[in-house]
Structure 1
Amino acid sequence: MESFERARLDAYFAKIAAQFAADEQAASFLVTHLLPERPGFVRAVASLSRLRAVLPKPKSISPAAQREVEQTFPVDALTRELFAETDTALDYGKVRRFGAAPDGIDFDFLRYVTRERALKEGTPFFLGSDMRPQPHCSFFLDLAKTLKAKSLQDYTYDFLESLDPPSDVLSATEDGLLAYREHCTEHRDEPMSPATWKRRRVTIHNFYDWAVDEAKLLARRPYYRRPNGRDVLSWGTTAALDVRHLTYEQWGFLDRVGLRGLLPDGTADPSFRSAHTLRDSAAGNLSITTGLRLREFRALLDIEVGPPRRDGTAKEVELQTIAKFGLPRTVEIQDATLREIDWYRRTERAAMVRRASRNLWRRREEFFVVDDVNTRQMKLRGVGTWSVKAMSRPSPRRYARWSPRYDT
């Protein structure tokens, strides 16, 4: 742009900003096409609000305009996953809203909290009556190195309940811990089951292992622990699980009658209301025959399953990020299950995609639209290139759509 054109734009935006100036400014985030004429617009927005960050649209960025804006305002990368989840978007907003460096100090809070080996989201902090961090914080900082946010949350609630009634766990005695076990398993309004207490006991063990072996806060554990792992906190048994095991014939009956909607004689049941019998049956057989965990099952993509093989062999699916603790493992999908899934894919699913195509097209901005699928290398290309087994949930894995047919 010519200098006189930029001067005219600056004067125009300045006039608009002066006309609509507010008595109290609100914090703002600006998503815009960062083209050569936009710096004047950005400055006008900053004069009307407390501009926390500029997020330029990836496909319309002028390097010269970006360098000019970066001299005055924070400029962050705009990605679909940044605003795909409410919690992620709120966390980003909090960092930019409250992460303001003192005058004269060049410090980017967002880059600091998202750097490699930074403190993980969901890491709890424990403060004393003087608002100073307690030793328990270091324990959870260590846990955060290997656990995800949901596991940290579970451990935190277990730990908080172990402080009710309030006590100093570092000065707890064996008698006190025994009384706590009896309180949880016998005297509460709703006593804990053996399985729940076992998890609570693991939390207590982990804390005292850390306090003795790593933090050196205690010389020894406040209770005796046998070499076989048994100790005074052991209680109950979880061997007799409240689970009913089905025989193969019973599972077949449940599949045909409960999921497919057939009568015991094999004819269709007119009173069965589900419109997705093939999906229900295929999903049930997939979960039963593979041993997928719930999180893995929910995040599995259709291209990971694939079509049935000509030689009738099982399909091996490599799981990584969606597996427990992110540890790679392989599951096998048998040929019969692959054929049932393919039957559903060609019938019920095809009809469902056709019916939903218009709605998906209207909502295309909400999805990570896939432009290319590489089934040999198991990679997706859209806004960037993603390895399927390295995609986590909730990441684009949850919102991936194949653009020509909008097939998940």
Structure 2
Amino acid sequence: MRPIEPVTSWFRSLGLDVRDADTMVTYAYAVVRLLAFLMARGLDLASATENDLRHYRLWRTRQDMQAPPAEVTGNAQLVMAVQKTTWGKESAAIASLYKYLKRINLVADSPWRSNGDGTNSLAKRGSRDMRVRHLELDQYIYFRDVGFGGLVPDGGIDPSFRGQLPHRNRACCELALLTGMRIQEWSTLLLPELGLMDGGRPQTTYADLSACAKGGYPRSVYVPVDAMELLDPYLLLERPQIVAAAQRGLRQQHRDLFVVDRVEADGTRLRGMFEGHRVSWRVKMMEPELRRLAVWETGNGLEPLAVFLRRGGRMPTFSGWDRVRWRAWDRMKTQATGQPTPMLPRQCWLYHDLRHTFALRLLIFLTREALGGDHAQELPMSTLVEHMYGNPLLVVQARLGHQAPSSTYKYLRYLKDPMGEVDRAFRRWTAAGGASYVTIAESLLNLGDADASQG
């Protein structure tokens, strides 16, 4: 058992601040671990010192520390050391808790010192380097068509493929690549957001993101022609079958669903019944969990409003998309055995790698346009407005929805392939490039065939 107060009151305050579910879970586990550690030392939250919390940080982040207290070892998960990024989340939870304890006058101040730069002695040390892994064109085609689409490397049909919903999976890859959206953004899209209601399908469109965007920061995302076109096979072939097969289950769950009967304001607002009440929601303000429950009353049945569906007619969960990704990765590795295929990375591709690919390709294109385009040559950027309008970094920052330019600046180091530069710089220095002590010595001594025969 853990102390009920003041932790439950703090947790209630988090709920009233509308923290998302993932954050609440992370904070809960972090504080339970801290309480167990302090109780094993005969301490509580009010009596813990900075030294106690620093020992807790060492125990959580170092494998070579002594065994944790007996009260903590009951759960094997607790004795595993964590990375700096994970510790950053735990330290944020602890900081939030002590901020609340200070507000209710349970402690006079936080038990750690401020470093004077906005950080404290409890926070993680060192800056986090963003991991950017992108795909080249041949890698992406292999990723999309072979891994997710079930084709063979030469583009033919694989009769032995037994994967599920290949058209859906190819469409989600194309949408992620050509829009730069995160998985929680593209995977939770609803039909009205892409103009797909009543059989309509625009050539291009804009999707307004807010509740499903990172941090809830609103932005508008352009969806180009190719992304919309690759949705067609899924919308015409796979999705109708899923919806038809799911009707019985959806009817049984009718009371728990958000049943929409009116779509207003060009698809930006939904009206219907939810939990016995008549409600109205702006689509971009709908949280992912509500989106999973949204269905359209067509008169001939219930149609889920989520663009991407799994068997059963519901929106796939993030763990469901992860299973799709790992199955695709296993298939890519299998197909690469004994066949000429693009180079695969050491670790499985991530959906976020498509976002990085979008950012780098767009940044490279815009940079070349700014440096060598006709517009740049005819009209130099002599004013601040012209500079901001044509600055590739600012354009990419807006497309990605980065709040700080520093997040976009990290892509600069990847504009050129550093490994390719190393290969070219040292090509003639290596044995593979034909260089050896004998050949270099012959070159330096100007020894030709005739001289060598005389020697």
- Quickly name the TM-score band, shorter chain normalised: 0.5 to 0.7
Q: Contact between 1:318 and 1:328, CA under 8 Å: does it hold in 2?
A: yes
1:180 match? 56
Aligned positions of 1:49-128 closer than 5 A: 126-127=3-4
- Please, which of 291, 294, 298 is the counterpart of residue 403 of structure 1? 298
- Please, which of 269, 275, 278 is the counterpart of residue 167 of structure 2? 278
Structure 1 vs Structure 2 CA RMSD: 3.3
Moved over 6 A (4+): none
Of the structure 1 ranges 150-159 and 385-394, higher mean CA displacement relative to structure 2 is found in: 385-394
SS of the equivalent of 1:332 reads strand
2:93 match? 203
Distance 1:230 1:391 in 2: 34
Change (3 A) 1:392 1:156: same
Deviation (angstroms), 1:247 = 3.0
Distance 2:286 2:212 in 1: 8
Q: Which has the higher contact order (CA 8 A, sep 6+)?
A: 2
Change (3 A) 1:226 1:399: same
Q: Contact between 2:85 and 2:128, CA under 8 Å: does it hold in 1?
A: no
Q: Contact between 2:146 and 2:152, CA under 8 Å: does it hold in 1?
A: yes
Deviation (angstroms), 1:190 = 1.6
Matched residue type, 1:163: L
Deviation (angstroms), 1:255 = 0.5
What do residues 162-219 of structure 1 show as CA deviations (whole Å, max 9, x unaligned)? Answer: 112212222222221121111111236421122211111112222333444x334444
1:139 match? 10
- Please, which of 26, 34, 38 is the counterpart of residue 162 of structure 1? 34
Change (3 A) 1:251 1:229: farther
The TM-score with structure 1 as length reference comes to 0.57
Q: Contact between 1:262 and 1:269, CA under 8 Å: does it hold in 2?
A: yes
SS of the equivalent of 1:401 reads strand
2:280 match? 386
Matched residue type, 1:158: A
Change (3 A) 1:359 1:268: same
Q: Contact between 1:195 and 1:238, CA under 8 Å: does it hold in 2?
A: no
SS of the equivalent of 2:230 reads helix
2:234 match? 344
1:223 match? 112
Matched residue type, 1:151: T
Of the structure 1 ranges 169-178 and 148-157, higher mean CA displacement relative to structure 2 is found in: 148-157
Deviation (angstroms), 1:155 = 1.1
Matched residue type, 1:407: E
Q: Contact between 1:184 and 1:191, CA under 8 Å: does it hold in 2?
A: yes
Distance 2:84 2:148 in 1: 33
Structure 2 unaligned regions, length at least 5: 68-78, 305-455
Q: Contact between 1:369 and 1:382, CA under 8 Å: does it hold in 2?
A: yes
Distance 1:349 1:252 in 2: 23
Structure 1 unaligned regions, length at least 5: 1-124, 128-132
Q: Contact between 2:115 and 2:121, CA under 8 Å: does it hold in 1?
A: no
Change (3 A) 1:402 1:182: same
Deviation (angstroms), 1:263 = 1.8
Matched residue type, 2:58: E
How many residues are aligned here? 274
Change (3 A) 1:271 1:143: same
SS of the equivalent of 2:153 reads coil
Change (3 A) 1:385 1:168: closer
Deviation (angstroms), 1:254 = 0.5
What do residues 29-88 of structure 1 show as CA deviations (whole Å, max 9, x unaligned)? Answer: xxxxxxxxxxxxxxxxxxxxxxxxxxxxxxxxxxxxxxxxxxxxxxxxxxxxxxxxxxxx
Matched residue type, 1:200: E
The TM-score with structure 2 as length reference comes to 0.52
Distance 1:385 1:229 in 2: 43
Change (3 A) 1:403 1:173: same
SS of the equivalent of 1:274 reads coil
Q: Contact between 1:369 and 1:403, CA under 8 Å: does it hold in 2?
A: no
SS of the equivalent of 1:316 reads strand
